[in-house]
Amino acid sequence: MKNIKEFNLDDLKQELEALGEKKYRAEQIFKWIYVDKVKEFDEMTNLSLELRTKLKQNYTMCNFNILKKQESTDGTKKYLFDVLDGNAIETVLMQYHHGKTICVSSQIGCKMGCKFCASTGIKFIRSLTAGEIVEQILAVEQDIGDKISNVVFMGIGEPFDNYENVMKAIKIINNQKGLNIGARHISISTSGLVPMIYKFADEELQCTLSISLHATNDEKRSKMMPVNNKYNIKELMEACKYYIQKTNKRISFEYALAKDNNDNLEDAKELVKLLKGMLCHVNLIPINKIENGNYSKSSNENIIKFRDYLNDNGIVATIRRELGSDIDAACGQLRRKNLKSNK
Ligand code: SAH
């Protein structure tokens, strides 16, 4: 059976027509799902019993079960969702002054192998479908009874390794008749899959692109991120420049500071050289220590020094607020779980 949340409104209209129904029924269903946030076809009371039965015979609502919910002292919530096939993924909700931001997962596991990330130490199972990405937002909105204003693709997985489904999910999330979260309120973070950066640039979407840079030379970056062996810094920077030129949008470079690894003044100098003149912003992340990880957090003093050096030398840099680290919900701390083996 198909998941009804796989369809954007136009596709849903076609589905309904194929079932011999009028197109406007699709709008009604879309509203029930994304505005009224019902969980069952039977709650769609302006549809005939016959149509509801037809829908139940052809589609599922794919409602994720919440297996676990943890709340941090800073208000961050981490959800463990049963994705209905024996696997579970994590999704994080963060509260900022300007609204609620959800950090969604795009895959069950991750293939990228970054040495400092907890999502790495676990087997890659599969990519999530567009409907499963969208469901994370719906399930959290249902749970909190409130609207989410921003979406970041920074949970488990590499969004550009699941490109088509992520783009499809964005179209559903964007729809003004549904969740109505504008592209400007959506960020996608990639470890640097160069061909996909070019493809994404050509979409000319208003989403923010974040690049996990983390090091300024190939030797260091390859040690931290194996993807650098495939697409090195030079190729990555060329793709970023193309993106900026094509979209006229600022790129956000993520740089996780690890003690005695990439956090000294020499690194800051190299970073300035690398990014000088680019329309960009640097997001410094105090690295979160993970189980069995070799990297540890840079001192606060050092992080501030690093930021100030960048700012003094013409590169806008901010330090990412650490949210949810007490419940392992911070950057790089998310893991998938297998429900059967409980690993
Ligand atoms: N796969 C994508 C998105 C996932 S992670 C990517 O690599 O960009 C979101 C951000 O958290 C990335 O910049 C990632 O490099 C960073 N991150 C991973 N592990 C971390 C850790 N232990 N501490 C701090 N940031 C980490």
The tens place of each residue's pLDDT in the chain, 343 residues long, gives 999 999 999 999 999 999 999 999 999 999 999 999 999 999 999 999 999 999 999 999 999 999 999 999 999 999 999 999 999 999 999 998 889 999 999 999 999 999 999 888 678 999 999 999 999 999 999 999 999 999 999 999 999 999 999 999 999 999 999 999 999 999 999 999 999 999 999 998 999 999 999 999 999 999 999 999 999 999 999 999 999 999 999 999 999 999 999 999 999 999 999 999 999 999 999 998 877 778 999 999 999 999 999 999 999 999 998 888 888 888 888 887 777 654 4
> Which CATH architecture does the domain made up of 2-60 adopt?
Orthogonal Bundle (1.10)
Contact 146, 100 (CB under 8 A): yes
Give the count of alpha carbons within 13 A of 101, CB side only: 17
Beta bridge partners of 209: 188, 251
Structure confidence at residue 204 (pLDDT): 83
CA 15 to chain CA centroid, nearest Å: 28
Mutating to test ligand 1, I would choose from 189, 193, 257, 289 the residue with most ligand atoms within 8 A of its C-beta, which is: 189
Q: What is the whole-number distance in angstroms between the Cα of residue 156 and the centre of ligand 1?
A: 9
Closest among 337, 313, 333, 315 to 323, alpha carbons compared: 333
Strand 150-153 and strand 65-71: pairing?
Answer: unpaired
Model pTM?
0.96
Give start-end residues of each CATH 3.20.20.70 domain in the chain: 65-341
Q: Is 141 a catalytic residue?
A: no
> For strand 280-286 and strand 317-319, is the pairing parallel, antiparallel, or unpaired?
parallel
Residue 276 class from Cβ within 10 Å (0-12 exposed, 13-18 middle, 19+ buried)?
exposed
Q: What residue ranges of the chain are covered by domains with CATH 1.10.150.530?
A: 2-60
pLDDT at position 35: 97
Instruction: Let me know if domain 65-341 sits in CATH 3.20.20.70.
Output: yes
- The length of the chain is 343
How high is the pLDDT of residue 323? 86
Give the closest residue (by CA) to ligand 1 atom 8: 190
Catalytic member of 15, 90, 135, 254: 90
Distance between Cα 193 and ligand 1 center (Å)? 14
287 CB less than 6 Å from ligand 1?
Answer: yes
Residue 210: per-residue pLDDT: 98
